[in-house]
Amino acid sequence: MLEAAIESGITLYDTAQTYGPDSNEILVGELLKPYKNKIFITTKFGFGKDSSVLDSSPKRIREVVENSLKRLNLEQIPLLYQHRFDPKTPIEEVASCVKDLIKEGKVARFGVCELSAKTIEKAHKICPITAVQSEYHLMWRNPEKQILPTLEKLGIGFVSYSPLNRGYLSGKLTKDSEFNASNDNRATFPRFQPSAMEANYQIIEMLKEFGKGKNPSAKDSNATPAQVAIAYLLTKKPYIVPLFGTTNKVHLEDNLKALAVKLSDADIKAIDSSLDKIIIVGDRYPAEQANRVGK
């Protein structure tokens, strides 16, 4: 999968201390080692040894960075994100610590995830932010209200994680799709309960209709819902990087074909207008996780 992605020209690979935990960084470090001079690896801090505990204290940040460098086989982390806001540690203290790590050469760039526009501005004053990573897709356009205008003002990039709403916007999930609670957090997400998935399928129908004739690289010239969803983000703003994940080579190839889908400003307005008429059923996170974002 990774070789196929690299050969296709994908250069951004995202991981985190808490994925696994730790095991994903080990895997990424091992598999991407031969390519590390050609690619861009990003990772994150923000949790304690128990991944349910938020911890962005300077001591913990430094501990995570040292461990991440070893696991990823890197001399310097290209882009280091704060994974989630830590209410116990002021954002100024977090930014100051990362600024010191940049001076020491252990980190190249600073990023943050799922922060409010106000907190982004506070952090940026202490240590310039390269990118903000937050959820953003056709079913979650909230970043357009305050985040994107703030990033434009400050000259910060935006990395859109889950651009297909955890696979839903591929159009391949239905109300009968099942998720294993032991290794798939969608099992607990309100938006992935059967009733919500059925109610929201009108978005898929809209994307299928809109995609007709939109992909010149396809045999039938039609763009898939996934391709329209990714093309939407690529067209929306020049500084948006869609960050998708997949374990399926066919899905990888399908997503890459979004590059052939060219949407005009009129197309974007038409999609937005259609979405404005659709009420999304189900919150994106359970209450506990929802309390960790937008702070």
Sign of CA dihedral 130, 134, 137, 141: negative
The SS3 assignment for 17 reads coil
Residue 166's SS3 state is coil
Q: Which residue has the tokens 């990023």?
A: 111
DSSP secondary structure string, 140-159?
B-GGGTTHHHHHHHHT-EEE
Among candidate residues 158, 103, 118, 155, the one with its CA nearest the CA of residue 134 = 158
Question: Closest Cα partner for 284 from 138, 82, 118?
Answer: 138
183 CB burial (10 A radius; 0-12, 13-18, 19+):
exposed
Among candidate residues 19, 201, 239, 285, the one labeled active-site is 19
How far are the Cα atoms of 31, 105, 194, 197, 282 from residue 178, in angstroms, in the given order?
30, 45, 9, 11, 17
DSSP 235-274: HH-TTEEEE---S-HHHHHHHHGGGG----HHHHHHHHHH
Q: How many Å apart are CA 228 and CA 244, to the nearest integer?
A: 14
Whether 161 is catalytic: no
Three-point CA angle 199, 203, 204, nearest 5°: 100
Instruction: Give the residue numbers marked as catalytic.
Output: 19
